């Protein structure tokens, strides 16, 4: 079985802003066009220069193939001047030994006219080389060595220009022809001047290309920024909408994209117009939802208020029957007890609904100093009386006893820092609901620990139990209304599902927060749940958090 390479974790690419991408694309286009033009123009320039060189070589070779070679005898071997006349004029002959060992000397043929510095000529007469020289850039005539002559003679004899490299002299263009008397003739000229011209041209093109690229980036960045500036206005409008509180309460007018940015003849205008249409739809939908919720809250409040009277009547009649002198049959007595207990439970549910309706309507709670230590002590004592099968534990700050009184040894050490500003009855209900939740959803023998502490500008209340924990799927909706836990976890009967939602609403109304942390057996060996309530301490003005 072939080995399979393990999958590699690819690092996500960092997103690039649209402005930067557009500028980079523009710069890339300018760069490609500039390089393409530079390469094409350089190739054309070099081709034209080489064509001129080739034309001069072919013309020189044609002149040299016409007529015999002039051989002049010189009696005076002196005059070894090797200087060269200006280009286009015939170069003087150089002395060379006379044939057949004669005492006289024979001068080499004069350098052909029309060939300038960097030229070379190889010419044979009767199978013997009579001319194998080149002219340097300093206009000096020098003889070619045997290797250089061999390299020139290796050029094809079809009369077309070819590239050839001579040892020690560099690159040349050479034409190899055959004279009328079937003797080889090679005319060559250096391409150093052509290469130097092309090199200077390339340097100029590089400088112009860099300048054009920088100009394109600068101008392109300005144009792109100016063209995309309307998108900033659209983004600002969307940001203002994202900062609005749309989850609850009355919906004010949602800000729109300015009319100047909604012209649908442009792409940005199309985006702005579409965003305005979406915001209008959202505003209408939210207003309809708020109206519907207002009607529901009004109905719940009215219905709850109307139910209080018949429920009180039911409880009163049940108590009246209990006080009657006549003895009731056992079955009737049990039924009457059930009627009274259910009336009490329904009365509690009605009171909870009335409290939620009042909080939803924005009716402010009473504001007064509230000692959370006293609330915690009372709550634990009530919970112990309601469920003695649980292990209740209260942890208070140093200097407090379980009755909420200051120890003499710690009096005045800062216990007043656990006082908050709020509605005492509502905060007492928060503590009672959290303890009732722990009592209801954990088995007997579970330890429930209530802890109070000071955390800077807030007072923190922890309610922790080592019960089975809350399932992960239930935690996100735990503070929603009518959210109930698993029936299997509820050992002591059903619940209304309003306790935690009421606690959350009261804590939020006091400017605080409530959170939950839980672990079940599937998530680890140590199970349990912790509810954390943070309430701001009063500042100098007496309002919550004003001094934080």
Say yes or no: 369 and 358 in one domain.
Answer: no
Say yes or no: 326 and 194 in one domain.
Answer: no
Residue 355 phi, psi (nearest 5): -65, -45
What are the structure tokens assigned to 471, written together? 């399932």
Residue 205 lies in a domain: no
Say yes or no: 449 and 333 in one domain.
Answer: no
* pTM for the structure as a whole: 0.48
Q: What is the 3-state secondary structure (H, E, C) of 391-447?
A: EEEEECCCCECCCCCECHHHCCCCHHHHEEEECHHHHHHHHHHHHHHHHHCCCCCCE
Residue 90 lies in a domain: yes
Residue 276 lies in a domain: yes
Say what the pLDDT of residue 329 is.
Answer: 81
> Which residue's structure tokens are 């109206």?
291
Say yes or no: 314 and 381 in one domain.
Answer: no
**SS percent in the chain: helix, strand, coil, step 5:** 45, 20, 35
What are the structure tokens assigned to 176, written together? 């190899």
Say yes or no: 292 and 369 in one domain.
Answer: no
Q: How far is CA 341 from CA 315, 319, 401, 429, 499, in A?
A: 9, 11, 36, 20, 19
**Can you give the length of the chain in residues?**
548
Q: Which CATH number covers residue 331?
A: 1.10.287.130
What are the structure tokens assigned to 174, written together? 């050479």
Residue 50 lies in a domain: yes
Domain encompassing residue 488: 365-405+415-536
Residue 435 lies in a domain: yes
- Can you name the residues that pair with 369 across neighbouring β-strands? 421
> Which residue's structure tokens are 């850039």?
137
Residue 214 lies in a domain: no
Say what the pLDDT of residue 73 is.
Answer: 32
Say yes or no: 159 and 185 in one domain.
Answer: yes
Say yes or no: 369 and 472 in one domain.
Answer: yes
Q: Hey, what's the torsion of the CAs at 60, 62, 63, 66, to 10 degrees? A: 160
Say yes or no: 148 and 295 in one domain.
Answer: no
Q: Which CATH number covers residue 429?
A: 3.30.565.10
Residue 12 lies in a domain: no
Q: Hey, what's the torsion of the CAs at 109, 112, 113, 114, to 10 degrees? A: -170
Of 302, 330, 363, the domain-final residue: 363
Of 176, 200, 224, the domain-final residue: 200
Residue 4 lies in a domain: no
Say what the pLDDT of residue 61 is.
Answer: 82
CB 443 within 8 A of CB 490: no
Tens place of pLDDT for every residue, the chain, 548 residues?
455 555 555 555 666 677 778 888 888 888 888 888 989 998 999 899 989 888 888 888 888 776 544 433 333 444 444 333 344 444 444 444 444 444 444 455 566 666 778 888 888 887 788 888 888 877 788 888 888 888 888 889 888 899 999 888 889 989 988 887 888 889 998 888 888 899 999 999 899 888 888 888 888 888 877 777 777 777 777 777 766 666 665 666 777 777 777 777 877 777 778 877 887 787 777 777 777 767 766 776 667 667 777 877 887 877 777 777 777 788 887 887 888 788 877 877 777 777 777 776 666 677 888 888 989 998 999 889 888 889 999 988 765 555 444 444 333 444 456 888 888 888 888 898 889 888 888 888 889 999 999 888 889 999 999 888 888 888 888 887 777 665 434 444 456 677 788 888 888 888 888 889 888 878 777 788 899 999 888 765 555 554 33
Of 174, 200, 226, the domain-final residue: 200
Say yes or no: 357 and 370 in one domain.
Answer: no
Say yes or no: 294 and 369 in one domain.
Answer: no
Say how many domains are in the chain: 3
Say yes or no: 370 and 280 in one domain.
Answer: no
Query: What is the CB neighbour count within 10 angstroms for residue 268?
Result: 20
Say what the pLDDT of residue 112 is.
Answer: 65
Say yes or no: 447 and 301 in one domain.
Answer: no
Nearest by Cα to 339 from 303, 313, 308, 309: 313
């Amino acid at each position: 079985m072939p080995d399979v390479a393990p999958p590699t974790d690819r690092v996500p690419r960092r997103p690039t802003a649209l402005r930067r991408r557009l500028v980079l694309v523009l710069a890339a286009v300018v760069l490609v066009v500039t390089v393409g033009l530079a390469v094409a123009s350089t190739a054309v320039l070099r081709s034209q220069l080489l064509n001129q060189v080739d034309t001069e070589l072919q013309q020189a070779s044609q002149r040299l193939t016409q007529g015999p070679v002039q051989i002049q005898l010189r009696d005076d071997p002196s005059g070894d001047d090797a200087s060269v006349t200006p280009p286009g004029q015939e170069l003087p002959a150089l002395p060379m030994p006379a044939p057949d060992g004669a005492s006289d000397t024979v001068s080499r043929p004069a350098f052909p006219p029309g060939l300038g510095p960097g030229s070379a000529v190889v010419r044979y007469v009767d199978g013997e080389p009579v001319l194998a020289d080149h002219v340097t850039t300093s206009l000096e005539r020098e003889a070619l060595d045997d290797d250089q002559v061999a390299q020139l003679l290796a050029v094809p004899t079809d009369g077309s220009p070819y590239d050839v490299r001579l040892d020690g002299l560099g690159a040349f263009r050479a034409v190899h022809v055959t004279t009328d008397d079937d003797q080889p003739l090679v005319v060559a000229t250096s391409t150093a001047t052509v290469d130097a011209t092309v090199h200077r041209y390339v340097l100029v093109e590089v400088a112009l290309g860099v300048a054009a690229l920088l100009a394109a980036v600068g101008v392109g960045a300005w144009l792109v920024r100016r063209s995309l500036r309307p998108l900033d206005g659209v983004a600002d409008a969307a940001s203002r909408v994202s900062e609005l509180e749309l989850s609850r309460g009355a919906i004010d007018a949602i800000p729109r994209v300015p009319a100047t940015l909604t012209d649908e003849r442009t792409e940005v205008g199309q985006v702005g117009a579409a965003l305005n249409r979406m915001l209008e739809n959202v505003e209408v939908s939210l207003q309809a939802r708020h109206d519907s919720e207002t009607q529901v809250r009004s109905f719940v409040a009215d219905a709850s208020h109307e139910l209080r009277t018949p429920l009180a009547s039911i409880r009163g009649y049940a108590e009246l029957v209990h006080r009657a002198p006549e003895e009731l049959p056992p079955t009737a007595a049990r039924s009457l007890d059930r009627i009274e207990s259910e009336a009490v439970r329904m009365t509690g549910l009605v009171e909870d609904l009335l409290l939620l309706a009042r909080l939803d309507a924005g009716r402010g709670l009473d504001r007064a100093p509230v000692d959370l230590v006293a609330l915690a002590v009372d709550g634990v004592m009530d919970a112990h009386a309601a469920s003695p099968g649980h292990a209740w534990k209260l942890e208070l700050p140093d200097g407090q006893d379980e009755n909420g009184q200051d120890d003499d040894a710690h009096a005045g050490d800062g216990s007043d820092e656990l006082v908050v500003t709020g509605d005492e009855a509502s905060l007492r209900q928060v503590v009672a609901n959290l303890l009732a939740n722990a009592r209801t959803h954990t088995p007997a023998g579970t330890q429930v620990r209530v802890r109070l502490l000071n955390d800077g500008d807030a007072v923190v209340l922890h309610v922790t139990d080592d019960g089975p924990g809350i399932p992960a799927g239930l935690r996100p909706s735990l503070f929603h209304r009518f959210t109930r836990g698993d029936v299997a976890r509820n050992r002591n009967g059903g619940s209304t599902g309003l306790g935690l939602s009421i606690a959350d609403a009261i804590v939020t109304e006091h400017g605080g927060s409530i959170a939950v942390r839980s672990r079940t057996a599937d998530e680890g060996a140590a199970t349990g749940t912790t509810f954390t309530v943070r309430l701001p301490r009063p500042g100098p003005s007496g309002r919550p958090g004003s001094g934080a």
